[in-house]
Structure 1
Amino acid sequence: MPSFFKTLLASALVVSSLGSIAQTKYEWKSANTAGYNYKFVTNDPMKARFYQLKNGLTVILSENHKEPRIQALIPTRAGSNTDPKDHTGLAHYLEHMLFKGTDKYGSLDWAKEKPLLDKINDLYEQYNKTTDAAKRKEIYKEIDKTSGEAAKYAIANEYDKMMAAMGGQGTNAFTSYEQTVYTEDIPTNAIDRFLALQAERFRNPVLRIFHTELEAVYEEKNRSLDNDPWKVEETKYAALFPTHNYGQQTTIGTIEHLKNPSLIEIKNYFNKYYVPNNMAIIMVGDFNSDELIKKIDKAFAYMQTKPVQEYKPAPELPLTAPIIKEVFGPTPDNITIAWRWPGAVSPKEHIIGTIVDELMSNSKAGLIDINLSKAQKVLRASSSPDWNKDYSVWTLSGTPKNGQTLEEVRDLLLGQLDLLKKGQFDESIIKAIAANYKLNAIQSLEKNDARAYKLLNDFVVSKGIDWNETSAMTDALSKVTKQQVIDFANKYCGNGYVIVYKRKGEDKNITKVDKPEITQVETNREKQSDFLKAVNAMPMKDIQPKWLDYNKDLQKGKVGPAEVLYVKNADNDLFRLTYRFDMGSWNSKVLPIALQYLNFLGTPTMSAEEISKEYYKLASNFTANFTDHHINLTVSGLNENFDRTVSLFEQLVTSAKADPATFELLKGRLLKQRNDAKANKGAILQGLAQYAQFGAKNPRTALNFTNEELKALTADEVVNFLKDLFNFKHTVVYYGPKSLEQLSADLSKVHKFPTQFKADLPLVANFDRITPSKTQVLFTNFDMVQAEIDWIRPTVKFDPAQTPVVELFNNYFGGGMSSIVFQTIRESKALAYSTYAYYFTPNTKDEKYFLVGYVGTQADKLNEAIPSMNELFNVFPASEKNLETAKESMLKNYQTERITQDAIAFNYLAAQEKGLNYDERSKIFEALGKLGLEDLKKFQEANIANKPVTYCIVGSENKIKVDELSKYGEVKRLTLEDVFGY
C-alpha cells in the first residue's frame, strides 16, 4: 500500500454513519474573469482553475488561505521515457543543470564565460566520440582545465540564494518516467520575485559548472549501487517491460552513457520538450487567482509553442508465465511479485484496481493485514500500485521471518490473492474504502502540497483521467461491486507476473562509476549578478509573524490527577487524543517490546484481529511510539465515535491478555529485525554515532536486552508493564471539536485515572554525551561501494541565550543548498552527492549540544572529503553575502510559519523541557538583525574549530585502507556486536 492510502485508511469515515455516499455531479464548466478564460469542475472542493495561455502553457491554480504560503510545481511532460536511446539519463542531467543559471544570472561576465563554455561543449563532443583510453584522459584533462577557467566567471548557487532570500523552502526537483518537476514553497508575498526568477530560469539555461555537477550524478548512480531496493525496482521494471522505456531506460541512465555525456544533446532535449504546450505552472495557496494569472501570463509570454512528439511505444505482449529474477546485496532477503496493469489513463481499471489493492492491504483489515501481518506469518507484507500513464504496476512484497524461505513467503502472498480471486472477502469493505478516500480528500484540502501533487498527477496523465474524473473518484469507488473486483483480479493478476527474489549475498554485477580527476572550481560566493540584485530588490509586502502565546492559544485543564492541554478543532469532526508520559526508552528496556506487542494483543473478550477490524469499522486508529524521554499513545477518529474509540484502546492496554504463543512469534520477529539492522548501512552509521556521543555504554547498546535475555522474557512480564502504564503520570493532549468541559466529562467516563500517579520509572542508566578529549576514528566494515562519514562532537549544555546564533549558524553553514558546506563539498569540489553539517540543540535543558557533519561519498574520495570538511570546521568561511541570504531566509520563514492544531500543545511541552515559558522563535527573530559574521566566527571557534571530533566511518575494508585512517586520529574498529550491543 502506498503511504497515501495508509494515511486515509488510518482516519477513515464510518460507512454506517454516512449511509450511502451522495452522488455528486462533477462536470467541466467554463468561465471568464479578469479577461482570462478558464475551466473548472463543478463541486470540486479545491475549486481549481485550469487556464491555457495563448502559447499553450497550462496554468492550474487552487486557492487555500490557511497560511501565507504557496506550493508551486513546474512540470514538463518529459522524463526517462523520452531520453534518447544513446543518451539515457539525459532528462535527469538536465534537471540538475536547471539550477545553474542563464546568461543573466550565475555569471560574472557572460561575454568572457561563453567562449570557454563553448570550448567545453566541443571538448565533450570529442570525449563522447573518442574510444582510446589515453586520448580520453587527455581530453578530460583539458575539460577540467577549461572548466576551471570558466568557473572564474561563474557564480555558484545563485538560484538557491535567490529562493532562500525570498523565504523559499523545499527547493528541489525530481525526474521520473514521464515527468520532470521543479518544486518550491514560497511566502505569499514573494510571488513577483518567484515569477521573475522562474521565467528567467527557463528562458536560456546555461550548462555551466557541468563537470562537477556531472560528478554529483555519478555519485547518485554509485549510491544506487548500494541501494538494494533500487536494484529490485529496476530489475522488476526491466522484466515487466521488455519493450517500453519503463523497463528499458533507467532515470539515472547507464554507466556507459554517464561516462559520455553530450551537452549538445542536453540542449537539444531542452529545446524539444521544455516548451509551453508541454509544461504547466501549478500553484496552490494564499493568492488571488485573478491577479496571479495576469502575472504568470506576463512573465511567461515569451515562450513559444512547438510541436511535441509524444512517446508512443509499441504495446507490450501479454505475460503468460512467471518471470523469475534474482538480486543480490548486503541487505536482508525479501520478495517482490509484480503484475502489469492497465495505465492510469484507463479510468475504470484505475478505480477497480484501487479497490483491489485496498482489499489486499489497507493496514488494518485487508487480507494481507489480517491473515499474514497480524497473524505474524511473515515479518512484513504489503501491496502497492504504481499508477503510470501507459501501464500501471501492482506489487505484492514480503519479508520472511526467521527460518522462513522466500518461496514460503511467495506462497503465502499468492494464497491471499487467490482468496480475493475467489471472492472470499467482505464486500462491505468496498464502501469503507470509498468513504476513506473521501475523508482523505477533505483532510488534504488544508495542505498546499497535497493539493498541488494531486493536480500534478492529473496534468501528467491529462489525456486519460481528467480532473472531473479525479474529483468523481469517491463516488466511482463506492459503486464498485464484488464481482467487478473478482473479474479484475482474475483478468489482471494471473500467472503472468514478475517475481524478484532479493537474496543476501555479494552482487558480482556491480560496476562503479570511476572517479574522474576534478580540480576544485571557483564558487565566487561573494559575487552577485545584476539579475540577482534586481530580484532581491523587488519589494515584498510585510507579513507579521505570529508567535504562540501559551496562555491564549491553548487551554489547560485537569481530569483527575492529569493535566489536559486542549486545542479546539473548528474545521471538521475529527479528533486526536494523546496520552503523553514523562518517561521513555531510557526508563525501560521492556517499553519498546511492549509497544510492539500491543499490535498483536487481544483482551478477554476480543481477539487482536477483532480489535483491528473494530477499529476499521469505527474509522479510528491508535499509534504507540516513544522517544528517549517520552511515550505517546494516540487515538484518533470521528468525534461521534469518541467514547467507543477511546474505551476500546483503554481495554486493550489495561486488559491485555498475555498470549505466550504470539509472544514467541514476536520474539522471533525481534531477533530477525536485529539481524536485519546489522545489514543496513544507515542503521550501522546511527549506531556508530551513538557510540561516538556516549561511549561503549550508550542507548543503543545498554537499552537492548541481549539475545539470551530477550529469549527468556515472558509474555506476562510485558503485558504487566502495559497494564500498569496508565498508573504513571501522563498528560492528555487533545485536538478536536469537543469543548474542554465536554472532553473532561467524557474522558473521565472512558479512561480510568488513578487517585494518585506512581513515580516515574528510574533511568536504566545515566546517559550523558561525552565531549571528546582527543580525536578518534570509529570504523565498521560493511560491503558497499560508497563510504558514509559522520563527524560527531558533543559540546556544552543547553543555553537559551545561544539559540539565535545556533540557528543562524546552521542555516548559514551547513543546512540546505545555499549553505557553505553544500557549496564547497558538492558544488566546488564534487566530493559528494549528499552532505551537510548541523549543530543540534538538545531537547532538554540538562543535555548537551552536539555537532554532526556528514558526507556520503565514493570510497576513493574519502581522503579528499575528510580534509575538505575539516577545513570548513577549523577555518571560519566568512561570506557577507551568504550571511545576508541566511538571515533573509530565516526572517521570511518565521514571518510565514504557522503552528496550529495539537502542534501548539507539543510546542508548549517542548519549551517546558528546555525550561522556557515562551515561543523561542520570537527571541530568534528579534536577535537575527543584531547578529553578524563575527558572532558566527566566535561561536565556531568556541565550539567547533580545531576541537577533537570522533569520525564515524562505514565502508568496505576492501576499498578503504583502514590503517591509513590513523592520520586523522586513533583508529578503533568496531564489530557489529560492538555497535548494536547484541
Structure 2
Amino acid sequence: MKLVKIISLAALMTMGISYGTFAQNKIEWKQATSGGYTYKYVADDPTQARFYTLKNGLTVILSPSKKEPRIQTYIAVKAGSKTDPSTHTGLAHYLEHLLFKGTDAFGSLDWSKEKPILDQIDALYEQYNTTTDETKRKSIYKTIDSVSGEAAKYAIANEYDKMMGAMGAKGTNAFTSFEQTVYTEDVPSNALNKYLAVQSERFRAPVLRLFHTELEAVYEEKNRGLDNDGRKVIEKMFETLFPNNNYGKQTTIGTVQDLKNPSLLEIRKYFNTYYVPNNMGIIMAGDFNPDEVIKEIDKDFAFMQQKAIPPYTFEPEKPIANPIIKEVTGPTPESIMLGFRFLGASSKDAQMLELVGNILTNGSAGIIDLNLVKKQKLLGAGAFPYVLKDYSTLLLQGNPTDGQSLDDVKNLLLGELENLKKGNFPDDLISSIVNNERKRIIEENENYGSRASNLMSNFTDETDWKDKVAYVNDLSKITKADIVAFANKYLGNNYVAVYKRQGEDKNIVKVDKPTITPVSVNREAQSDFLKKVNAMPENKIDPVWVDYKKDIQRGKSGSYDVLAVQNKDNALFRLYYQYETGSWANKYLPVAVNYLEYLGTQNKTAEQFSTDFYKIASTWNITASGESTTISIDGLQDNFNKAVSLFQDLLQNCKVDQDALAAYKLSMKKSRVNKKLNKGAIMSGLRNYAIYGPQNPFNNELTDAELDALTADQLVTILHDLANFQHRILYYGPKTASEIGTQLLAVHKAPASFKPLPVAKKFDQLTQDKNKVLFANYDMVQAEVFWVRNADNYNATEQPTISMFNEYFGGGMGSIVFQTIRESKALAYSTYANFSLASRKEYRNSAMAYVGTQADKFNEAVGGMNELLNELPESQKALDNAKEGLRKSLATDRITQDGILFSYISAERMGRDYDIRKSTYDATPNFTFADLKTFHGKELSNKPYTYCIVANQDKLKEEDMKKLGDFKKLTLEEIFGY
C-alpha cells in the first residue's frame, strides 16, 4: 500500500516543504501475469486495480480489499441516451428497466407458452406505434392490456430481485446517463459465484416481459422529472450548450411522444448493437482473490461475441460568441446557472476543469466561497465541472438572497471569474488544494464502494486511469500563471445562462394514465434456474458483532469522558464533541451555530479561519438537532493540535459582527421563504404535524418577530456557552484513548465547572384515534401520499420481528409492497412501507407507508396501499427469501471505524448495551408467516392513519380525499411555524 507515503508527503507539505523536492515512483502502466491471465496495472495505484481484457473484448477491472466480506460490483455498458435513435428517445433507459425481467430460463413459469404471447405483444406495439388515429390506438392498447394479462400468467415478477435478495445483496439497482448504462449490486463475498451465474444469464438473452406495467413505471418517472425544476434547468442548459450533440438534442428519459410509442423491436435492436463484450465492463472492488475471480468471469461470459460498435458521429459545436440567455419556470425558488463549454474528458483542458472548479469552490477557501458565500453576498453559490466523453462544461450556480435579482447574481458570479482571470487568489491555494485532494483520495480508498465507482466512471468516460492515479502529482506542477492563462483563454462571454424563474410552468405536458388491468406476480413460483442458483455451494461467513466493551477504548481528558476507536489503516482522525442538548432546549441554537460560519475573532477574520483550515486539509462542522448537538473536526493526525486549537479559538473567541448578522438575517428570511416552495420540506412538515400535532419539532422555529428581534450578542453568548456545557469526546484516529485524552488536555480544556444543560421542550406523539387527512397544495404533476400512525414505545425484544417484517413487507424491490403496487398494478414509480423504530427508548415507533403517483391514479394507489395495510398477503417463498437475505446481509455487515462509536450511542439511547443485530440474526430462522401476520394485525391492519398529501389542488378532487378521513387543508404558516 502507498497510502502512508501519500499521507507523509501531505503532512510535510503543510510544514512548508516543497512537494517537488521528494523523489517518487514513476506512475506508469505495467503488465503482469498471474493465475494464467495477463493484466495491466498502474504503478503506485492505491486501489491496486487490475485491468484485464478477455478474448472476446470484455473489460474486467478488479480492485481487491479485505476490510469487509462484501464486493461492490458494476456491469457497465458504454451506451446511453446519446446513442438512442432519434425516433425512439428514452430507449436505453427503457432497456435498463427491462434487464430486471429475466430470460427464457428465469422469470418464466413456462417459456414455451409465454413466448408466443410475447411475440403477439411485440406485433401489437408495432401496430400501436405506427397508428395515429386515437380511437384505433385506444382499441389496440386495450388489446395490449388484455394480452399482457395473459402473458403475465406465465411470468414470475421480480425473480431477479428474489435471487439477489437471497444472496444477501444490497443496493440492487441500475442507472442510465448520456453514455453509460450501469447495473449495480453489493454482494457478499461468498456469493460471487452465484452473482456471476445470474449476471451471465441475465445478459445472455433478456426477455422483455411485463412490458406495459414497467412502461407505466417509466411514465411515472417522467412525471416525477417534470416536477423537478433542477432537472429542467440542466436539460435546458445542455440543450443550449450542445445543439448538435445528443447531450442536448435528447434527454435520457425521452420525450412524452416517444414514451407513448415504444417499440420492443427497436429495444432488442439496441441491446444486440451495444450490449456486446467489447463495449462492456465488469468492475469489482472488495473481498476476493482476483486470480480466482477473473477465471470465473471468463468462464461465465465466454458466450458473448465481439461485434463492431457503430461510432457516434455529430457535427462539432460552433463557438459561442456572445452570452445565450434561456429561462425555465417552476414552483421552486429562483436561481441562475451559467455554463461554459469545453472539449471532452480525454482532453487536457477538461482535466484542468477540476482544478479550476476547486479554485472557485472547494467549500472553504475557494474564490466564490470566500468572496460571495462567506461574505453572504448570495444565499448560495458554487462551481463544478461536468465532464463527458465528447464535451465538458464548467457550471456556476447562484441563489439570490433577499432583494437580489438574477442579474445581480449573474454579475457577482462573473465578477469572481474576473478575479480568477486576474489571478486575484492566494499563491498557495493550489498547494492547499493538493493537500485536500490527497486527503480525499485516502478517504475514498477506505471504502470499497468508492473504489468501484471511480473505476467504473473511468471505464465509461474512456479516460486513462494512469492520469487519475497521477492527478495529485500533476496538480502540483500546475502554476498560478497556468490557471490565469487558462481562465483568460476560455472564460469570456462564451457562456449560456439559464434563469430559473419562480412560477407556473405552462408548457408541462404530463404522460397520461393508460388503462392497466393488474397482472399476476406469481409470488410462490420459482424457476428451475433460481433453484439451481440457490443450491450453489457457498462458504459460510460468520457474523461479527460489535462488543462495545472491547471494541471501544475508554479514557479521560480532564473532566471529559473519551470514547475512542483506533485507526490502524492510515493517519486520518475524526473528532466529535457530543452534547445532549439541541434545538428543543434552545431554538436559537441552530441559528447560532450557522452564524459561526461568518464570524472571526479579534485576530482573524472568518475568511482567514476558512483558509487556515483548508491549508491543513481539515474541516469542522456543527450540527444542532432536536436533542443533541455534535461538533466534528477531521484531518491528518499530524495536524491534530493545530486543527483543534484553531476551532477552539474560533468558538471561544468569536466576536460580535453586526454586519454579518444583518446579512445573515436577510439570508435566513430568504431561506425561510424558499423552504415553503420546496415540496419535500412541505411533506416533512405534514408528517411532523401528523406525528406530533400543531406544535411539533419541524415548526419549532423562530417567529418572524423573534427573528427581527434577534441580536448578535445573543448568538455569540450561545456559542461561547457551548464550551461551558458538559459533553463527551468521541475519537477515531491513530492514537489510543489514553494518548488522545492526554493530547487534548492542552488544546481542549474543560472549564472549572460546567453550566447545567437547559431543559428541553417536550413534544408528545399523538395517538391516531380516527382517520385524518392533512393536505398541502403544491404546483406539481404527481401526488405524494404518506401514511402515518404512532404505535407503542420502543421495546428491544420486538426489534428482530420488526426487522423481519420490514424485509418481507415493504423493504425492497422483492417486497410485497413493491411487487403489488408497482409490478402488478403499475400504480407508482416509488413506493414503500415500513414499521419505523423510535430514535430513543422513551419514544414511540411508527407505521409508515408512501406512494408517489399520478394525480389521476390517486384513488387506485391509495386503495392499493390500504389493501396491503389491512390484509397481509401470504407467500412462503417470499418469506423464505426474506429470511435468507436478511440473515446473509447481517452476517456480512461490518460496523467499523467511527461507525462503532455512533452505533454505541444509538444503542445507549435505546437502553441497550449490546449489538441488536445479533438478536435479529439468531431469531430470523425461526420466524413463521403467523408471526408476521400477528405483528401486522397488531400494528397495521384496520388501524386509523393520518394521510399526508401534497398535490395540486386543481388535479386532485377534495371529495376523494375527504372519503379517507377528517380533512384539513393546512396553510404554509401552520406547517412551518412562521
Among 574, 592, 595, which residue is 2:593 paired with?
Answer: 595
Partner in structure 2 of residue 575 of structure 1: 573
2:967 is aligned to 971
Matches within 5 A, 1:929-968: 929-968=925-964
Classify 1:879/1:122 alpha carbon distance in 2 versus 1 (closer, same or farther; 3 Å). Answer: same
Q: Which residue in the other structure is 2:584 paired with? A: 586
Q: Distance in 2 between matches of 1:448 and 1:743?
A: 28
The alignment partner of 1:552 has SS state of helix
Give deviations 1:296-322, integer Å, cap 9, x for gaps.
000000111111112121211111111
TM-score normalized with structure 2 length = 0.98
User: How far apart are residue 586 of structure 1 and its match?
Assistant: 1.4
Q: Say if 2:18 is the partner of 1:19.
A: yes
Q: In structure 2, what is the equivalent of residue 505 of structure 1?
A: 503
Corresponding residue of 1:341: 342
Counterpart CA distance in 2 for 1:39 and 1:619 is 33
Deviation at 1:412, TM superposition (A): 0.3
Identify the residue that residue 778 of structure 1 maps to in structure 2. Answer: 774
Distance 2:795 2:442 in 1: 42
State which drifts further: 201-210 or 645-654: 645-654
> By how many angstroms is 1:14 displaced?
5.1
Q: Closer, same or farther in 2 for the Cα pair 1:929/1:868, shift >3 Å?
A: same
Asked whether 1:714 is paired with 2:715, we answer no
Return the letter of the residue paired with 1:19.
Answer: S
Q: Which residue, out of 798, 801, 804, partners 1:805?
A: 801
Q: What is the match of residue 104 of structure 1?
A: 105
Match of 2:619 among 607, 618, 621: 621
Give deviations 1:746-772, integer Å, cap 9, x for gaps: 2111112124433221112x2121120
Please report how far the alpha carbon of residue 232 of structure 1 lies from its aligned counterpart in structure 2 after TM superposition: 0.2
Aligned partner of 1:841 in structure 2 is 837
Which structure 2 residues correspond to residues 297-312 of structure 1 after superposition, within 5 A? 297-312=298-313
CA distance in structure 2 between the aligned counterparts of 1:36 and 1:572, rounded to whole angstroms: 32
Offset of 1:272 from its aligned partner? 0.4
Structure 2 Cα separation of the partners of residues 244 and 161 of structure 1: 40
Q: Give me the whole-angstrom Cα distance separating, in 2, the residues matched to 1:18 and 1:292.
A: 43
* Structure 2: gaps spanning 5 or more residues: 1-6
Shift of 1:378: 0.3
Residue type of the alignment partner of 1:923:
S
Aligned to 1:759: 756
1:183 aligns with 2:181: no
1:320 alignment counterpart = 321
Matched residue count? 968
Shift of 1:17: 5.4
State the alpha-carbon separation in 2 of the partners of residues 519 and 18 from structure 1.
71
Match of 1:296 in 2: 297
TM-superposed deviation, 1:18: 5.7
In structure 2, the CA distance between the partners of 1:591 and 1:150, relative to structure 1 (3 Å rule), is same
Matched, 1:850 2:850: no
8 A contact 2:771–2:966 mirrored in 1: yes
Which residue identity does 1:963 align to in structure 2?
Answer: E
Alpha-carbon displacement from aligned partner over 1:794-843 (angstroms, at most 9, x marks no partner) = 11001111000001111111111111111111111111110111111011
Deviations 1:517-551 (A, max 9, x none): 00000000111111111111111110111101111
Cα distance per residue 1:30-59 (max 9 Å; x no partner) = 222221111112222212111111111111
CA distance in 1 between counterparts of 2:11 and 2:191 reads 37
What is the CA–CA distance in structure 2 between the aligned matches of 1:14 and 1:337, rounded to whole Å? 35
**1:670 corresponds to:** 668
Distance in 2 between residues matched to 1:86 and 1:506, nearest whole Å: 30
- The answer on 1:787 being equivalent to 2:822 is no
Alpha carbon RMSD of aligned pairs, Å? Answer: 1.3
- The percent of aligned pairs where both chains have the same amino acid is 54
Q: Compute the displacement of 1:716 (Å).
A: 0.5
Cα pair 1:319 1:497 within 8 Å, conserved: yes
Q: TM-score, normalised by structure 1?
A: 0.97
CA distance in 1, matches of 2:133, 2:17: 72
**2:893 maps to 1:897:** yes
Residue of structure 1 equivalent to 2:4: none
Q: Which amino acid aligns with 1:255?
A: V
Shift of 1:645: 1.0
Q: Are 2:565 and 2:736, in contact at CA under 8 Å, matched by a contact in 1?
A: no
Task: Name 2:140's counterpart in structure 1.
Answer: 139
State the distance in 2 between where 1:639 and 1:442 align. Answer: 13
For 1:157, the equivalent position in structure 2 comes to: 158
Where does residue 413 of structure 2 map in the other structure?
413
Cα distance between partner residues in 2 of 1:641 and 1:817:
46
Residue type of the alignment partner of 2:190: N
Question: Would you say 1:390 and 2:410 are equivalent positions?
Answer: no
Equivalences for residues 316-465 of structure 1 within 5 A: 316-346=317-347, 348-462=348-462, 465=463
Asked if 2 retains the 8 angstrom alpha-carbon contact of 1:13 and 1:619, the reply is: no
Q: 2:526: which partner in 1?
A: 528
Match of 1:28 in 2: 29
Matched-pair contact (CA < 8 Å) for 2:627–2:760: no
SS at match of 1:587: coil
Deviation, 1:741, is: 2.4
User: Which moves more between the two structures, 87-96 or 721-730?
Assistant: 721-730
Deviations 1:850-896 (A, max 9, x none): 11110011111110010100000000111111111111111111111
- For the Cα contact (< 8 Å) 2:652–2:719, is it kept in 1? yes
Partner in structure 2 of residue 229 of structure 1: 230
Contact 2:602 2:653 in 1 (8 A): yes
113-122 or 658-667: bigger deviation? 658-667
Aligned-partner residue type, residue 297 of structure 1 = D
Kept after mapping to 1: 8 A contact 2:563/2:737:
no
Distance (whole Å) between structure 2 residues aligned to residue 747 and residue 14 of structure 1: 24
- Superposed CA deviations along residues 143-194 of structure 1, whole A, max 9, x for unmatched, are 0000001000000000001001001111110001111000010010001100
The corresponding residue for 2:603 is 605
SS of alignment partner, residue 700 of structure 1: coil
Q: Which letter maps to 2:909?
A: E
Instruction: Please list every run of 5 or more consecutive structure 1 residues that lacks an aligned counterpart in the other structure.
Output: 1-7
Assess if the C-alpha contact under 8 Å between 1:13 and 1:432 holds in 2.
Answer: no
> What letter matches 2:512 in structure 1?
D
Matched, 1:174 2:175: yes
Q: Which residue is equivalent to 1:5? A: none
Report the Cα offset of residue 626 of structure 1.
Answer: 2.4
What amino acid sits opposite 1:453 in the alignment? S
Deviation per CA, 1:189-232: give whole Å up to 9, x if none: 00110000000000000000000000010001001111000000
In the TM superposition, what is the alpha-carbon distance from 1:13 to its structure 2 partner? 8.6
What code does the residue aligned with 2:499 have? Y
- Take 2:605 and 2:214, find their aligned partners in 1: how far apart are those partners? 56
Residues 89, 745 of structure 1: CA spacing in aligned structure 2 closer, same or farther, 3 A cutoff? same
Aligned to 1:278: 279
Cα contact 2:129–2:262 (8 A) shared by 1: yes
SS of the residue corresponding to residue 926 of structure 2 reads: coil
Cα distance in structure 1, aligned partners of 2:898 and 2:261: 53
Tell me if 1:883 matches 2:879: yes
C-alpha separation in 1, matches of 2:332 and 2:29: 50
Contact 2:777 2:953 in 1 (8 A): yes
Secondary structure of the structure 2 residue equivalent to 1:140: helix
Q: Give how far 1:12 is off.
A: 9.5
State the distance in 2 between where 1:932 and 1:18 align: 66
Q: C-alpha offsets along residues 394-418 of structure 1, whole Å, 9 cap, x if unaligned?
A: 1010000001100000000000001
Distance 1:684 1:487, change over 3 A: same
